[in-house]
Structure 1
Amino acid sequence: MKIQPAAFSVKGMSYVIRSTLPGDAAALSDIRLQIDGETEFMDRERGEGFIDPAGFEEIIRTDTEEARNLFLVAEAEGKLLGFCRCQGSALKRLSHQVEFGICILKEFWGYGVGRNLLQETVSWADAAGVEKIGLHVLETNTTAIRLYETFGFEQEGLLRRDKRLSDGQFYNTIVMGRLK
């Protein structure tokens, strides 16, 4: 699915949120790799689950064609700052919901990129008749948890000792959902 581009200006930085294009594939491959190495909030460590440009081209194609999928990027001056994606299910019993994920380059934290990507996603979901948006978030990512809560997401469950981070300790993952 595609959305109309939306322009934002936060703290002196202007950027656009738009649907992905096939030409974004190489940049998406690069920034996903970078983001995975910048924070332990992601499921992957740098290099794990690598998606090459051809893989992103396929994801972009699928997400553009599927009514229950959405793949957005934030872009400033030709550079991708981050992205988010919703993936629906072809299964009839799950067709009312999508799974949401988001990645923002650390240097662009604090510019409302995540908030605006989430706002565009929620607006799309409401207009598309999506009844539920689900996501998983590491318990230590309190900034993201607060953001999700401002958009009506609620904690639905806890995956105990779900991730082992670089300090050797286990951490919980919070399962959150937003019902329309």
Structure 2
Amino acid sequence: MSEELKLREAIPEDAASLLAFLNKASQQSDFISYDEMKDVTEKNEAIALDAIYRSDRDELVLAIFDDEIIGYYRLENIDDQKAEFGVVVDKEFWNNGIASYLMEDALNWAMESPLKKVFLEVYKINSVAIHIYQKYGFTTETEKAKTLIMEKLI
């Protein structure tokens, strides 16, 4: 590896590369769906990224390696008290601690925010992700047919 992993907030200029990354990641894993994003234009994504960047209650951070997006996390404010968390890592970089690195950054950000709770939804069969979430203090709040809603109080 010729370059270090860098984390940085997403900016509007990242729209095209983020959409391409999400499309690629959805093809690598059954746990990620790109269907709801397929009609999002680069312009609309740039507008959304700008709003997130300007917000003090939402966060989208990219993991960059060799000038390419290899992962990201998103904290989406729901009601000023809780945020939904999501994390995605390029399959080529799995098992390198990147998801944990992103998780730590996200939780540090959440602790400095007004948020009281972070929650997520994960497929029950995604045991690797569930293990990571439990490692960082997430507990199962609700069980659905195929997924778990997990949460962590901040």
Alignment of 1:28-177 (within 5 A): 28-42=18-32, 44=33, 47-50=35-38, 51-89=40-78, 94-160=79-145, 172-177=146-151
- Structure of higher CA gyration radius: 1
- What TM-score, normalized to structure 1? 0.79
CA separation in 2, counterparts of 1:78 and 1:27? 10
RMSD over equivalenced CA pairs, Å:
1.7
Higher helix share: 2
Deviations 1:106-140 (A, max 9, x none): 11111111111111000000011311001000011
- Percent identity, aligned pairs only, is 24
Contact 2:2/2:66, CA 8 A, preserved across alignment: no
Q: CA deviation at 1:49?
A: 2.9
For normalisation by structure 2, the TM-score amounts to 0.92
1:70-98 Cα shifts (integer Å, max 9, x gaps): 00000011111011111113xxxx32110
Which is strand-richer, 1 or 2? 1
Q: State the distance in 1 between where 2:17 and 2:110 align.
A: 26
The CA deviation at 1:14 is 2.3
Q: Which structure 2 residue ranges, 5 or more long, are not aligned? A: none
Q: Which runs of 4+ in 1 moved over 6 A?
A: none
Alpha-carbon contact 1:139-1:174 (below 8 Å) kept: yes
